[in-house]
Chains A and B, each alone.
Chain A
Amino acid sequence: MDLINNIVLGFSVALTPQNIFFAFVGALIGTIIGALPGIGPSAGVALLLPVTFGMHPASAIIMLAGIYYGAMYGGTITSVLINTPGESASVMTTLDGYQMAAKGRAGAALGMAAIGSFIAGTAGVLALMLAAPPLAEVAISFGPPEYFALMVLGLTTLTGLTGASKLKGLLMGIVGLILGTIGIDPILGNARFTFGNPNLADGLDFLPVAVGLFGIAEILGNVDLPTRAEPIKAKITGLLPTRQDWADSWGAIGRGTTLGFFVGALPGAGATIASFLAYGLEKRISKRPERFGTGIIEGVAAPESANNAAAAGALVPLMVLGIPGSATTAVMLGALTLYGLQPGPLLMDLNPDVFWGLVASMYVGNVMLLILNLPLAPAFASILRVPYSALVPIIMGIALVGVYSVQNSTFDLGVALAFGIIGYALKRYGYPSAPLVLALVLGPLMERAFRQSLQMSQGGFGIFVTRPVTAFFLLVALIVVVAPLVAWFRSRGRPIPVPVPEERQVAC
C-alpha cells in the first residue's frame, strides 16, 4: 500500500543517525527558546535559519520543526515555575500550573505537560499523516464568518476565567479588547489610539504585556511583602504525576488534542486560541468547574495538549497547500523555498522524502522531547526550593532582556513596566489578569473577521446565520451565555440554597 511505503520511506529518512541528531538538537534548542520569554517559536526558527543552510533540505526542515514543537513545550516551564508565559500559547497554563507550583506540585504539572504534549504531538502527527489532504480542504473552507463565530465562542469562555467576581473578569476582558484596538486599523489603515507614536502603530505586542502582567507584577507583589518570602510554602511533594492525576487528565488530554489539532489547522487561528478553547471547554464540562484556577491538573493538561497538537495541525495547510497558517509556519515556508523546494500541493509527490521524512521525524522528535523533559521536570521543580527572593534577579533579568529582544525596542520595556504596575494593582485588588491578556490576543482577530464578513456580504448580517458552521458556533455561544442567566433568574425569589460545606472551602 502507498501509505505504508511512504511511512517506511519517511522513517528511513528520519532514522538516519544524522537526522536523529538534528531532531534532538532542534527539540533541545526549541525547549530553551520556548522557555525564555522574548524569542518565541517564529523568531527562534528565523534566527536559526542560516545555521541550516548547506544542510540537506530534509535534515534542515526536521531541525526547524524540532525547534517549533520544542518551543511549544518550553513555554510551559516558565509558566508553571515563575508565572511568566514564554510564549502566548502558554498563558492558559499559568492559571493552574503556577497554582500547582504554589502547592508544591510543580513536578506533577511539568510532568503532565510533557506527557500531554507527547500524546498530543504523536496523535497530531498521526492525523497529519492519515488525513492531511482532506483536512486542509476543511480548514480552508473556514472563511471570515466562521472565524468570527469561533472567536465569539472563545470569548464567551472568558466569563469562566474570572476567579472571585464574574463582573471583574468581564470588565478585564473588555479592557483587553479595548487595548487590542490600539494600532493601525486592519481594514482602512486609520491610526487608532496611537497618539502619533509609531511604536504603537502595530498595537501592543503580546509579550511585553504578558511579562508585565504576570512576571513583573509577581515580583512587585513579592517586593511588597514585609518579610522575605520563604520558598514555596507547601512541601514539594510528588515530583511526578500521581495515579489520581492520570485519572483526572486522560479526558482533558484527549479533548485538548482533538480541538488543538483542528484549530491549529485553520490558517490564522493557531496554538494560542487552541489552548484557550481547550481550557474553556474543559472547565465547561468539568464536574468541578469551580476548582479551575486553583491548581488542578486538567487545567494544565488540556491547554498543553492543545498547543502541541496545534503545532502539528498548523503543518497541514503548509505541507498540503503551501499556505502558512501561523507566523512560525510562514518562516518555515520561506525556509523551504530557500532550500530549493516548492511548497505546494505537489510537494508530497515531488519531494516525498521531505514530506514523509518530516512526518516521521516528528514521532522521533516527540519521543526526544519526552525523554528530555520528563527527567527534567523534577529538576526544574526543585528550583522552587530556592527562596523566591533569590530568584527575583534571575527572573527579572531574563524577563527584561527577553522583552527587549522581541522587537529590539526599549519602548517595549516601558510597556512591560507599565503593565507590571497595572498587574500589581490588579492582583492586589482581586482583578484577574488572564482575561485581559487573552482578549488582547483574540480581540483584533475577532474584529477583523467580523468586518471581513460584512465586506463579503456587503454589509448584510445574514451571512452569520446562513452559513451552517457559523450559525452553529454562534448558537453554542448563545447557549453558553444565556443558560446561566436563565438559571439565575429562576433561582431568584427562591430561598438561597444552603452552600455545601465543601464548596465553601474552595470558593474563596
Chain B
Amino acid sequence: MVVQAAPGGGSDILARTVGDILNKERIVEQPIAVVNRPGGSGAIAYAYLNEKKGDPHFIATVTASYLTTAIQGQSPVSYRDFSNHAVLAVDDFIAVVRANAPYSTLQELVDAAKAAPNSIRVGTTQVGSSDSIIELRLEQAAGIELNAVTFNSAGEVNAALLGSSVDLAFANPGEVRELIRARRLKQLAVFAPQRLAGFEDLPTARDAGYDVNVEQFRGVVGPAGLTPDQQLYWQNALYRMTETAGWKDYIEKNTLRPLVLVGQDAEQYIARESAQLTEALKGLGVAQ
C-alpha cells in the first residue's frame, strides 16, 4: 500500500488504519505493508504506482491532490491512468470565525465583506487546496472580495485565526470542533449538500443562499492494467472494510462523512470531481 504523504499525517494514518483493518478482519490474507512515498504533492507516489501496471499487489490511498496535482501540471499521470477502486469517505469544510467576531451567520459575514471589500482576511492553505477553492467559490457566489493569506498547513491557519492574524477560515470539522465547543471559535456554515451529523444546528451554505459545496474525498486506487477479477477483488475487500466497526469508529473519531462508492460509481464520482476541480483551479489561475 502506497501513501502519498510522510509518516504521521492524516493520509498516513488513514492508510495504516485501512491496512490494519483489512488484515485484522482477514478480508485480505496477505500482510499489507505501508510504503511512504512523500513529495511533489503526491506526484512521486503516483509515478511510483504507475510503474506497477498490471500488478494487483499494489494499492494507494488518495485524496484531492490525486486530481489537483495533475490539473496543475505537476504530475504527468492523472486519475485516468489508474484503476479507481473505491471512494471511502469525504472531509467537509465549515466556515469558522473567532467567537468575538461581529458576525454570527454567513449572511452577516457577506454583508460585512460587501460593505468593505478586502477587509476580511481569510486564511487558506496553498492555492489549489480545497479551502482555497471554497474561498473562490464563495467570492463568486456572493459577489464579495476577501483578502486571502496563504499558510502552509491547517494547523497554522487555525493558530492565525485564533491569534487575529486572519478573520475567517474554512476548516475540517474535526480540527475545530473542540475550539468551537470551548467558545474560542464560532461556526457560520458548512459547505456540504446537507447538514452534518453532530452539527445539526449548523446551516449549510446553501441554506444561506450561496450554493457552494466543496468536499475533499478519500479513496483507494490501484495501478492500471488489472483484470476485471482483480478489480472486483479490491472493490469487494474495500467495501467489506467500510462495514467493519473499526472503520466506523475511525470515521467518527476523525469527523469524516461516510461516502462509500466502488467500481463504476467511484470512477464516475472521481471524474465529476476532476471536472469541477479543473474549473475551480482555472478560476484560481493555476490550472495548466
User: Contact: A187 with B9, CB < 8 Å?
Assistant: no
A286 at the interface (CB under 8 A from B): no
Interface locus among B85-93, B146-154, B211-219, B268-276: B146-154
Rounded to whole angstroms, the CA-CA distance of A144 and B121 in the bound complex is: 13
User: Contact: B126 with A189, CB < 8 Å?
Assistant: yes
User: Contact: B150 with A187, CB < 8 Å?
Assistant: yes
The 0/1 profile, CB within 8 Å of A marked 1, for residues 38-59 of chain B is 1111011001000000000000
- Chain B residues with CB under 8 A of A188: 127, 286
A323-B121 contact given A198-B44, A198-B75, CB 8 Å threshold: no
- Chain B residues with CB under 8 A of A407: 6, 36-39
Interface locus among A17-25, A120-128, A425-433, A452-460: A452-460
- Chain B residues with CB under 8 A of A202: 38-41
The 0/1 profile, CB within 8 Å of A marked 1, for residues 199-214 of chain B is 0000000000000000
Please pick, from B13, B43, B178, the residue contacting A338 in the complex, using a CB distance under 8 A: B13
A408 at the interface (CB under 8 A from B): yes
B240 at the interface (CB under 8 A from A): no
User: Contact: A346 with B38, CB < 8 Å?
Assistant: no
Rounded to whole angstroms, the CA-CA distance of A144 and B159 in the bound complex is: 11
User: Contact: B8 with A334, CB < 8 Å?
Assistant: yes
Please pick, from A333, A337, A452, the residue contacting B253 in the complex, using a CB distance under 8 A: A337
Size category of the binding interface on chain B:
35 or more
User: Contact: B126 with A141, CB < 8 Å?
Assistant: no
- Chain A residues with CB under 8 A of B166: 456
- Chain A residues with CB under 8 A of B179: 321-322, 344-345
The 0/1 profile, CB within 8 Å of A marked 1, for residues 176-190 of chain B is 011101101000000
- Nearest B residue to A45, CB-CB: B8
Rounded to whole angstroms, the CA-CA distance of A202 and B4 in the bound complex is: 13
B126-177 contacts to A, CB under 8 A, are 126-128, 147-153, 155-156, 158-160, 162-166, 174, 177
Rounded to whole angstroms, the CA-CA distance of A191 and B69 in the bound complex is: 12
Most chain-B Cβ atoms within 10 A of its Cβ — which of A43, A140, A327? A140
Interface locus among A46-54, A213-221, A273-281: A46-54
Rounded to whole angstroms, the CA-CA distance of A321 and B181 in the bound complex is: 12
- Chain B residues with CB under 8 A of A346: 178, 181-182
- Chain B residues with CB under 8 A of A408: 35-37
- Nearest B residue to A346, CB-CB: B182
A199 at the interface (CB under 8 A from B): yes
B118 at the interface (CB under 8 A from A): yes
User: Contact: B152 with A43, CB < 8 Å?
Assistant: no
User: Contact: A448 with B152, CB < 8 Å?
Assistant: yes
- Chain B residues with CB under 8 A of A342: 177-178
- Chain B residues with CB under 8 A of A47: 7
A268 at the interface (CB under 8 A from B): yes
User: Contact: B165 with A323, CB < 8 Å?
Assistant: no
User: Contact: A184 with B41, CB < 8 Å?
Assistant: yes
A409 at the interface (CB under 8 A from B): yes
Rounded to whole angstroms, the CA-CA distance of A401 and B44 in the bound complex is: 20
Please pick, from A321, A327, A344, the residue contacting B8 in the complex, using a CB distance under 8 A: A327
- Chain A residues with CB under 8 A of B253: 337-338, 340
A250 at the interface (CB under 8 A from B): no
A141-B164 contact given A186-B150, A198-B43, A199-B44, CB 8 Å threshold: yes
Rounded to whole angstroms, the CA-CA distance of A448 and B35 in the bound complex is: 30
A140-B39 contact given A189-B128, A346-B178, CB 8 Å threshold: no
B254 at the interface (CB under 8 A from A): yes
- Chain A residues with CB under 8 A of B121: 456
- Chain B residues with CB under 8 A of A321: 158-159, 162, 179, 184
A452-B8 contact given A184-B74, A198-B44, CB 8 Å threshold: no
- Nearest B residue to A48, CB-CB: B7
The 0/1 profile, CB within 8 Å of A marked 1, for residues 245-283 of chain B is 000000001100000000000000000000000000000
User: Contact: B9 with A334, CB < 8 Å?
Assistant: yes
- Chain A residues with CB under 8 A of B31: none
B206 → chain A closest CB, angstroms: 28
B72 at the interface (CB under 8 A from A): yes
Rounded to whole angstroms, the CA-CA distance of A458 and B117 in the bound complex is: 12
User: Contact: A186 with B152, CB < 8 Å?
Assistant: yes
A405 → chain B closest CB, angstroms: 10
User: Contact: A452 with B126, CB < 8 Å?
Assistant: no
The 0/1 profile, CB within 8 Å of B marked 1, for residues 310-347 of chain A is 00000001000111110100110110011010111111
- Nearest B residue to A334, CB-CB: B13
- Chain A residues with CB under 8 A of B182: 344-346
User: Contact: B147 with A458, CB < 8 Å?
Assistant: yes
Please pick, from B40, B44, B127, B178, the residue contacting A345 in the complex, using a CB distance under 8 A: B178
User: Contact: A455 with B149, CB < 8 Å?
Assistant: yes
- Chain B residues with CB under 8 A of A50: 16, 20
A197 → chain B closest CB, angstroms: 9
User: Contact: A201 with B39, CB < 8 Å?
Assistant: yes
A269 → chain B closest CB, angstroms: 11
Rounded to whole angstroms, the CA-CA distance of A469 and B96 in the bound complex is: 27
User: Contact: B155 with A143, CB < 8 Å?
Assistant: no
A12 at the interface (CB under 8 A from B): no
Please pick, from B9, B10, B44, B150, the residue contacting A452 in the complex, using a CB distance under 8 A: B150
- Chain B residues with CB under 8 A of A343: 178
User: Contact: B155 with A323, CB < 8 Å?
Assistant: yes
Rounded to whole angstroms, the CA-CA distance of A184 and B179 in the bound complex is: 32
- Nearest A residue to B161, CB-CB: A140
- Nearest B residue to A53, CB-CB: B20
User: Contact: A458 with B118, CB < 8 Å?
Assistant: yes
A505 → chain B closest CB, angstroms: 47
Please pick, from B10, B39, B149, B159, the residue contacting A198 in the complex, using a CB distance under 8 A: B39
User: Contact: A409 with B39, CB < 8 Å?
Assistant: yes
- Chain A residues with CB under 8 A of B153: 330
- Chain B residues with CB under 8 A of A382: none
User: Contact: B286 with A189, CB < 8 Å?
Assistant: yes
Rounded to whole angstroms, the CA-CA distance of A188 and B162 in the bound complex is: 24
A336 → chain B closest CB, angstroms: 10
User: Contact: B178 with A143, CB < 8 Å?
Assistant: no
User: Contact: B162 with A143, CB < 8 Å?
Assistant: no
Please pick, from A324, A325, A337, A345, the residue contacting B174 in the complex, using a CB distance under 8 A: A337
- Chain A residues with CB under 8 A of B10: 334
Please pick, from A46, A333, A448, A451, the residue contacting B12 in the complex, using a CB distance under 8 A: A46
Give the top 9 A-B pairs by smallest Cβ distance, nearest first. A344-B178, A46-B8, A143-B165, A46-B7, A140-B163, A331-B8, A201-B40, A345-B182, A198-B40
Footprint of B on A, CB under 8 Å?
42-43, 45-47, 49-50, 139-144, 184, 186-189, 191, 198-199, 201-202, 267-268, 317, 321-325, 327, 330-331, 333-334, 337-338, 340, 342-347, 407-409, 448, 451-452, 455-456, 458
A–B pairs, 14, beta carbons within 8 Å = A42-B8, A43-B6, A49-B16, A184-B41, A188-B127, A199-B44, A268-B156, A268-B159, A321-B162, A344-B179, A409-B44, A452-B149, A456-B147, A456-B165
Given A143-B160, A144-B160, A198-B75, 9 extra CB contacts under 8 A: A43-B7, A139-B163, A188-B286, A198-B47, A322-B179, A330-B9, A345-B179, A345-B182, A455-B147
Footprint of A on B, CB under 8 Å?
6-10, 12-13, 16, 20, 35-41, 43-44, 47, 72, 74-75, 118, 121, 126-128, 147-153, 155-156, 158-160, 162-166, 174, 177-179, 181-182, 184, 253-254, 286
